[in-house]
Amino acid sequence: MQMKTGVEQSVYAILILNMLPDKAVLPGEAISQQLGASPTYFQKLLRKLVSADLITSVPGVKGGFKLRKKPEDIRVYDIYLAIEGQQSLYSSSGVLHGILELEDDSCCLLTNLMEEAESTWQSVLKRETIASLYEDINKNYQPKVQILQAVVKEKMVL
């Protein structure tokens, strides 16, 4: 039971896109290069972020990706949801039914508890946004961040 690495990668990808000036765009390959991720697979993850309306894609020469929302409107939870999907951490396999031979599909003893647990978990992920992470990173890793920003500006288009 582990979160996909794609969630972490996507968070950093979006932080990188947040370094772009308005109207500029960064090709998928440049992003995956920075992340050290598999380019072809990361392209698929970028699609999920597009589908979730977190980023926009521009096709064609000088195409690429950029943020669709303001960084303060992108929560870590949104990214998690885009990548992992909305299935819950726990889903009853109906063991209780078999055990007690119930007819009505009344639920599992654990479902309520697990839903509550997951909901408090999610609420923590909803607190942090790209804006606040961007602040963090700027405050704590200053010199290195500027180098990264320079690289991004070099590779961006438009």
Residue among 84, 131, 155, 157 that touches its own copies (CB under 8 A): 84
Cα–Cα distance measured from residue 80 to residue 119, given in angstroms and rounded to the nearest whole number: 14
Give the shortest CB-67-to-its own copies separation in angstroms: 17
> Which one, of 20, 24, 84, lies nearest residue 52 by Cα?
84
Residue 35 binds to its own copies (criterion: CB under 8 A): yes
> Which one, of 62, 34, 61, 31, lies nearest residue 49 by Cα?
31
Extract the tokens encoding 71: 């960084």
From the list DNA, its own copies, none, pick the one residue 95 interacts with, judged by a Cβ distance below 5 to 8 Å according to partner type.
its own copies
Q: Which of residues 41-60 bind its own copies (CB under 8 A)?
A: none
Cα–Cα distance measured from residue 99 to residue 97, given in angstroms and rounded to the nearest whole number: 5
The helix/strand/coil state of 2 is coil
Q: Which stretch binds its own copies (CB under 8 A): 20-28, 40-48, 53-61, 90-98?
A: 90-98
Residue 86 binds to its own copies (criterion: CB under 8 A): no
From the list DNA, its own copies, none, pick the one residue 38 interacts with, judged by a Cβ distance below 5 to 8 Å according to partner type.
DNA
Q: Note the residue count of the chain.
A: 158
Residue among 2, 23, 61, 105 that touches its own copies (CB under 8 A): 2
Cα–Cα distance measured from residue 76 to residue 78, given in angstroms and rounded to the nearest whole number: 5
Which residues form the interface with DNA (CB under 7 A)? Answer: 1-2, 4-6, 27-29, 37-44, 46-47, 50, 57-65, 157
Give every CB contact of residue 103 below 8 A, 6+ residues apart in sequence: none
Residue 29 binds to its own copies (criterion: CB under 8 A): no
Residue among 19, 24, 52, 125 that touches its own copies (CB under 8 A): 125
